[in-house]
Structure 1
Amino acid sequence: AKKHLEAAQALITEDRVADRGELTADDPLVPDLVGGTDATQRRKSVENQHTLSLFYLAQVYGHQGDKSKSAEYCGITLCRQLAADEYDKDDWLQNCTQLAGFYLGEGRTRCCHYMLTAALALLEREKAAEKGVAEEVEANVQLGWGKMHMSRLEESAALRTAQESPRTADDLRDELHIPEHLRFDALGISVSAAEEVASVGSFEDARAVFNEGIRCFNDAMKCYTQESWFTEHFEILIDVSNLYRSLSLFETDPHRRCVMQKHRIKAIEKLADDINPKLYLGLYRSAQLECGNVYRDIAEIKVAEGREPQKVAHAALKAISFLEKFLATYKDELDSGKRIDS
């Protein structure tokens, strides 16, 4: 499949159609085309076939494990679909949001921001035209934004903890983040400014990023409710916990840091013992571990602050309780001598 798709791509890349003008009846491309004898329609058909070939190449590279190449062809496909006004809005938004997630994982935050800006622009355009968008698709766009803000805050907190200077807009300005083939000119959006993705150094700036992130996650949870999408809902709660953890590293007041830590697991702790480990073992482990780690952090803050021993002990005992439940889920593996890597 890859061989034939690449051959089709090469055929169009050579621009045979553009160089020779209108296709002739004996052109080898003609039998597979639709649109009659009109040159414009025939050219449009060729371009649509080319876009489809690029889409299939993205799938092929993905199956081969070449994620970068798959992302490149996915981006080109999205750009061509938008330019030709030939796309399914839900599929386009979903693919654009997923591509943003890929770039975020690659550390290309500026490119991620641009992709999410494109998704939001199309979403708003479709809603303004009173064209329905699937609820979960809209939620995924918000979720993508939330994860980007979370990642930005996590990076900033890590730099602060390591006592390193934050990455400024000047550090990012010259980095190549937005390839030309990803420019969605049809949406009328500009390339994301470096200031929009630079790390932050002050509590005030960190709080602003936090507020944007928490708003996006809350919007996503309007769709991904505990009752209808339990796994997705729980995963968002973990993301919210990470937001609070990162923000707390910018706070200097110990009491306020403890309050933020408690906010991390306010919702997770309520669910921790209600999750059935036989049905949701991974989620159960995550809940117990998250709660245990938070109470451990609270105990450490109280120790550093010189608080009363009983208050330190209360947090420490809570941490032990949750962590013991987490470890207990590995009892069968441990009893059988099975190696546990994570």
Structure 2
Amino acid sequence: MTISKEFLTDLKEKFEKVQKALQQENKVDDPESNRNPCDECYDVLNESLEYVLGALDGLDNSSEDFACYELIKGYIYKELGRLDVVLNRSSTAVGHLSHSLEVLKDRQQDPNAVIHCVAALTELGLNAANQKKNVDARQHLETAEKLYKDFKATGETPVTIFEFLSSSDDIEKREGRVELGKLYTLVTYYLAQVLSHLDETEKSAVYCHITLKRLLEADNYNAIDWALNAATLSQYYLTPNRFTEARHVLAAATHMLLEYEKKMVTPEMSFDEEQAVQETFNHRFADIARCWTKYALTLLIESRERLMSDDTTPRSPPVLPGYQFTTLQLPPYEVTDKYCLTFEDARQVYHFAMKWIERSKQYYNAQLEATEYAVIISDEADLYKVLAFFEEDPQIQCKYYKKRADLLEHIISLLNPTYYLMICRQAWYDAAMSYSTMMDTKMDILKATEDPTPHQRKKINTLSEKAINHLKSLINSFNEKSSIPDDEMHIYLCAHFYIGRLFYKVLTPDRKQQLKNLRNSYRYYEKFVLLCEENKEAGSRLKAEVGVCKEMLSLLPVKIENLVKEIEEAEMGTV
């Protein structure tokens, strides 16, 4: 090869300058200038490209010098494309990156070129993803993955551009494997996101797990980012009931943050820097705490559904092979990954969840984070609902539902419906259902009593009244003249059904009050059926309730008529 060592050294220095500037991305070094460092890199690369194109002119295609210049040309086009992606020059990026791949198309398995080809494909994938062209992004990234795997199978050592431009005496160690490995980690990271946008959540989770593992093995990660991504992955695992995998990645996320906490504050930090670091840690640890709450709540709910179901099919898929982060020394697990069968099982999971709820509230408090605080309180209320299922004593069940109702009413009292209407609507509905369940439970207890005492009637009627008031608040929050969103139509319809049911169940010896309640019951049942007929899609999900209402609408007029006669006869008898 006749290319001078001085020229190669000069190129190496220029490319190193570009690499350094790219690490700074769009930061402007000189406040007096609007010129971006990336623009200077553009000049450096274009100057180098112009020289290389000139040198190629007239060279024999089969010569060693031609192959060397072509490789450098392919690298420069790749770097120009990379700069374009950073600067959001999408169409120009595609042109440069595609040109790089065209130049190197016959050398993709060449140790000197493979890094540049994988990098160009990765940048094409990122550029397409930035434009929300996720199908194109996936194609580029999967091509990059195949190229990486095919080359790795050869057992050869990839060469970086700086190693290529150096003399053999200058090379102290091979960085090619490390750089190619980092590139593949980027590929898996981007694939996880792209596949998620394409609603291929299972494949997305696989690539997310691969990315987390590779970052750990390479010891190349930001502890907080790694922990958050692991926690996010755990929430995916909960959907198909992969509790073993979800517990492990959450435990890994927790371990990562606790280890980070030990060394996050350094002596050279200012007070403000320390406060900022502590604030970030508190925020992210609260997010991990909320994920643990979701884990426990989902485990309890699925345990309940499993016990209620006659289906003997396993509710959890087989454990994924290689799901563990074996390089981490995790402490023993504090919560089970098995379904709860008894109240004692459920109670242990409940106490575990409550520990993390309290930790979440330390950051997400009612004064500063009202919305997120309300979601946490709602999760706590749901814990009492599912715990009541495992409790056999009806009286204790009622106590759990009362705690649930208290928490939901706390949300209602805390939030202004003007600004938090959807949260308030759900809280009104859930609180009403809690009081309705308590009323049903107490009425079941009273079935053994022929004549309830006034005190017992008052307690049941108080529960009914509270449920009705919450449901009326829910109904009144909608404007019937405006269309009701599909995702809220269900609870709007149900509110009418349950008010009709609640009025029918009120206990009173006063016949006039009974008549008033029966008429109210009829009115709400009738409105429910009418609304379901007008909103067929939402109504189709309430066929059983519609059937009950139609039956009641045929029975109630008879009851009302008989009650009217009884009242009239009683009044005539007193004359």
User: Deviation digits for residues 179-238 of structure 1, max 9, x if unmatched?
Assistant: 32x431221349989x92111222122111111111111111111111111111101111
Structure showing greater relative contact order (alpha-carbon pairs closer than 8 Å, 6 or more residues apart): 1
Q: Does 1:63 align with 2:204?
A: no
What is the TM-score of this pair, normalised by structure 1? 0.86
CA distance in 2, matches of 1:26, 1:258: 72
The answer for the alignment partner of 2:177 in structure 1 is 43
Match for residue 222 of structure 1 among 337, 362, 366: 362
Q: Does 1:184 align with 2:320?
A: no
Secondary structure of the 2:175 match is helix
CA distance in 2, matches of 1:221, 1:274: 15
CA distance in 1, matches of 2:412, 2:236: 30
CA distance in 2, matches of 1:24, 1:232: 48
Q: Does 1:317 align with 2:458?
A: no
The answer for the alignment partner of 2:210 in structure 1 is 76
Asked whether the 8 Å contact 1:166–1:200 carries over to 2, the reply is no
CA distance in 2, matches of 1:84, 1:191: 25
CA distance in 1, matches of 2:230, 2:284: 11
The answer for the alignment partner of 1:239 in structure 2 is 379
User: Over aligned residues, Cα RMSD in angstroms?
Assistant: 2.9
Match for residue 204 of structure 1 among 324, 344, 368: 344
CA-CA distance at 1:261 after TM superposition: 1.0
Asked whether the 8 Å contact 2:159–2:174 carries over to 1, the reply is no
Secondary structure of the 1:304 match is helix
CA distance in 1, matches of 2:198, 2:287: 26
CA-CA distance at 1:162 after TM superposition: 4.8
Match for residue 481 of structure 2 among 315, 335, 339: 335
Q: How many residues align?
A: 327
Asked whether the 8 Å contact 2:224–2:257 carries over to 1, the reply is no
CA-CA distance at 1:177 after TM superposition: 2.1
CA distance in 1, matches of 2:264, 2:365: 25
User: Deviation digits for residues 130-179 of structure 1, max 9, x if unmatched?
Assistant: 56562121111111111111111112223344588998xxx97xx53233
CA distance in 1, matches of 2:219, 2:384: 41
% same residue: 26
User: Deviation digits for residues 102-128 of structure 1, max 9, x if unmatched?
Assistant: 110222122111111111221222223
Q: Does 1:135 align with 2:276?
A: no
Larger radius of gyration: 2
Match for residue 156 of structure 2 among 20, 24, 28: 20
Asked whether the 8 Å contact 2:160–2:176 carries over to 1, the reply is no
Asked whether the 8 Å contact 1:110–1:177 carries over to 2, the reply is yes
Structure 2 stretches lacking a partner, 5+ long: 1-124, 126-136, 266-276, 447-451, 491-575
Residues 156 and 60 from structure 1, CA distance in 2 versus in 1: closer, same or farther, beyond 3 angstroms? closer
CA distance in 2, matches of 1:304, 1:165: 30
Secondary structure of the 2:390 match is coil
CA distance in 2, matches of 1:25, 1:17: 21
Residues 249 and 43 from structure 1, CA distance in 2 versus in 1: closer, same or farther, beyond 3 angstroms? same
CA distance in 1, matches of 2:313, 2:369: 37
Q: What amino acid sits opposite 1:68 in the alignment?
A: E
CA distance in 1, matches of 2:431, 2:264: 43
CA distance in 2, matches of 1:62, 1:278: 34
CA-CA distance at 1:93 after TM superposition: 0.9
Secondary structure of the 1:316 match is helix
